[in-house]
Amino acid sequence: MSEIVIDINADLGESAKSLADGSDFELMRYITSANVACGGHAGDKNTMRETLAAAKKLDVAAGAHPGYPDRANFGRIESPMSPSEIEDSVQQQIASLATIAKSLDMKLVHVKPHGALYHAANKDREVALALGRAAQGIDPQLILVGQAGSSALAVWCSMGLHCAAEAFADRTYEPDGTLRKRTLPGALLDTPERAAEQALNIAVRHHVIATDNSELAVAAQTICIHSDTPGSASIARQVKATLQAAGLRVRALG
C-alpha cells in the first residue's frame, strides 16, 4: 500500500491575545499549515508578521486566510459584496500577507477563505470564481483550500488552480455533509481522543460518522483543527500523534 500523506491546518493570527499568551505558538507546534488572518475579518501587519515569523521558526507552511472585511462580526455573516468587490478585497488581503512573507524570506503556499466567505463560495459559483481570480492575480501556484465535496473546489480546479480538499477533526457532520451548526449541541468534538479518531477515519478510511450515525464519505488532503476550539493545542497534538502512529506521513500541502 502506498504511503498516505496528510496535512494538518489551523486558522491563526486572528487574535493579538492568543499570540501574546503563546496559545497560537503552542498550537502551531502540532500542525503543518497555518492559515494566517490577513486584515479582513481579523489581523493586522503586526499579527501577520508575528504569525509568519512563528511559522518560519517551526517550519510550518503559511497561507492566507482572507475573509469578508467585517471585523464587527468576525467575518461570520455573509456580506452583500459583489463578486468584483470580493475579488478586490481578497486580492488585497493576500497581497498584504505576501508582502510581509517576502520580507521574512517566506513564500505563501495556499489560500483558505474564512467563515462566511468559505461557505458562500460553496453556494455561489460567482463568489468561488472571484476567490480564484484573486489568488491567481497574486500567484497562480497558490493552492486553494475548500471543503471536501464542495462545488467551490470544482470551480477552482476548472480554472486550472491547484486545489486541496479539507475535512475537520473537531467538528461533527450532518448526514448531508454540512458541518453541524455551532449553536447546536454536539457541534464540537472537543476531546483529543474523539477528534483524533475522526481525523484517522478521514485520512485512512475516507469517512466520518454523521450525527445520525450514518457513514459519510469524505476524501481530504488536509485536516483542520479550529484554534478557537477549547483545548485546540491538545487536540492537535493527539491528532498528529495518532496519524503518525498509524504510519501516515504528516506534511504540508505542496
pLDDT in tens, 167-177: 999 999 999 99
The kind and range of the H/E element at 168 are: strand 162-168
Q: Using CA atoms, how far apart are residues 109 and 147, in angstroms rounded to an integer?
A: 17
Q: Using CA atoms, how far apart are residues 163 and 135, in angstroms rounded to an integer?
A: 12
58 alpha-carbon distance from chain centroid:
18
* Contact in structure between 62 and 100 (CB atoms under 8 Å): no
pTM of the model: 0.96
58 grid coordinates: 517551526
Domain that holds residue 136: 5-250
Residue numbers of the chain with a pLDDT score lower than 50: none
Q: What's the pLDDT at 254?
A: 87
Q: Using CA atoms, how far apart are residues 37 and 232, in angstroms rounded to an integer?
A: 17
Q: How many Cα atoms within 13 Å fall on the side-chain side of residue 40? A: 31
Q: What's the pLDDT at 190?
A: 84
Q: Using CA atoms, how far apart are residues 197 and 169, in angstroms rounded to an integer?
A: 8
Beta-strand ranges (E) seen in 201-252 are: 207-209, 215-217, 222-224, 249-250
User: Residue 171 belongs to a domain with what CATH number?
Assistant: 3.20.20.370
127 alpha-carbon distance from chain centroid:
18
Q: What's the pLDDT at 1?
A: 53
* Contact in structure between 66 and 96 (CB atoms under 8 Å): no
- Among residues 182, 185, 197, the alpha carbon closest in space to that of 242 is found at 197
Beta strands at 215-217 and 207-209: parallel, antiparallel or unpaired: antiparallel
Q: Using CA atoms, how far apart are residues 2 and 210, in angstroms rounded to an integer?
A: 28
Q: What's the pLDDT at 52?
A: 98
pLDDT in tens, 145-169: 999 999 999 999 999 999 999 999 9
17, amino acid identity: K
* Contact in structure between 239 and 31 (CB atoms under 8 Å): no
How many domains is the chain built from?
1
31, amino acid identity: I
36 grid coordinates: 494566517
